Amino acid sequence: MNVGLKLFLRRDRRKRLEAGNPWIFRSEVEKWEGEPYPGKYAHVYNHQGVFLAAAYVNPQSQIFARVLSYNPQEVIDEEYFIKRLLRAKQLRQQLLRDDSEGYRLVYGEADGLPGLIVDVYKDVLTVQLLTAGMDLRRDLILSALQNVCQPRAIVWRNDAGVRRLEGLSLENQMAYGHLEGPVEILENGLRLEVDVLGGQKTGHFFDQRENRRAIRPYVQPSDFAPQGARMLDCFCHTGAFTVHALAYGASHVTAVDISHHALEAARRNLTLNGWAERAELVEANAFDFLRKLEQDGQEFDVVLLDPPAFAKSRQAVNGAIRGYKEINLRGMRLLREGGFLLTCSCSYHVSSDVFQQVVLEAATDAHKILRQIEFRGAGPDHPYLAALPEGNYLKFAVYQVTSRKA
């Protein structure tokens, strides 16, 4: 097969590619033959000239090449994308519940399609092309998605800032079909409205779907909370956790977010399910609101903290740690004796060990004792490559919180 670009890797590099890591950094490349440009197809060889992988390159990016195949005869055409999409779809059908009307169909590198994210909302798809290599092949991707999924509409959600690192512009527009307003899906038997055109990321956070189902034992009527838990939901976004909590028997939820747009969506989701009167929606900075609740002497049976990524780079880790510590400390102080803290982090750069240590330090400062009950990650529609731990970003921990004197 005649290939216009060949990369040769350094002799002294770590054998990450052979272990299954699909990212090749500029520092690992010894030389190349041909002219690299963003998105160009290339064959990758070791220092002895042995073929290792087929990839696309971007000399403007820190990640110089991303692996598409380990077959030297692979042609990156529509059939290539159809095969990858069918494989991804089969896995989701095998792992997810039959009533899942929304899920992540393609999770980039984990599905052999680096830089591509596809979410399914019943018969509507949202697509993120995060790299120049995928953006260059958007017509092939669009056609393959129509072939495999037969959707009524496809939306380009190419407004992620990471595209700028690839030299790409931001866009958010219809790619195929048309939409008239939000899309309604069933999640765990509950009705949720999703703004696929204007919502955050791709409109909804499917990575927390199983975790939303997992909150039932902590909020349902019990000896601890006979009428159902009184819950505080911080960074509530469009209210998916709040809706689940009320469905599972919580007596009342105070839901807080700084975004007016997100809270309006949360209000619609509560109304859809008939529980608007059992929730209070508060538009506020969560840090400020937690302090105010503490000053007012408020108490809750359950506190849920699901903030956005505080650390989007290694340089932001120290600030993120301070943020995680503060919200967890204040959340613990708002719990009645024996209450439950449900706390999350979606910052990959804050590891699971570091996150748990930060929560423990917050408990020490709050004079609390933690009993860890669960530690969870993203749902099965967010698999990750063992050789690429960057795909394993979500942490969801459940603690029972007591005072030292209890």
Round to whole Å and give the CA distance between 57 and 25: 10
Give every CB contact of residue 397 below 8 A, 6+ residues apart in sequence: 341, 342, 343, 344, 355, 356, 359, 372, 374, 375, 376
Tally the residues of the chain: 406
Sheet arrangement for strand 63-69: 23-25, 63-69, 51-57, 41-45, 6-9, 29-33
Cα 196–chain centre separation:
15
Catalytic position from the list 234, 236, 344, 346: 346
Q: Which residues contact 248 (CB under 8 A, 6 or more apart)?
A: 215, 216, 219, 220
Adjacent-strand bridge partners of 32: 7
DSSP state of 31: E
Contact 351, 342 (CB under 8 A): no
Identify whether the C-beta of residue 42 lies closer than 8 Å to the C-beta of residue 34. Answer: yes
> What are the angstrom distances between the C-alpha of 313 and each of 158, 164, 200, 319, 349?
20, 15, 20, 11, 7
Cα of 326 vs its chain's centroid, Å: 23
Query: Would you state the torsion angle of the CA atoms of residues 310, 311, 317, 319, taken in this order, to the nearest 10 degrees?
Result: -30
Closest of 156, 137, 168 to residue 40, by C-alpha:
137
Q: Has 346 been annotated as catalytic?
A: yes
- Backbone dihedral region for residue 12 (phi beyond 0: left; psi -120 to 50: alpha; all else: beta): alpha
How many whole angstroms separate alpha carbon 325 and alpha carbon 361? 7
As annotated, the active-site residues are: 346
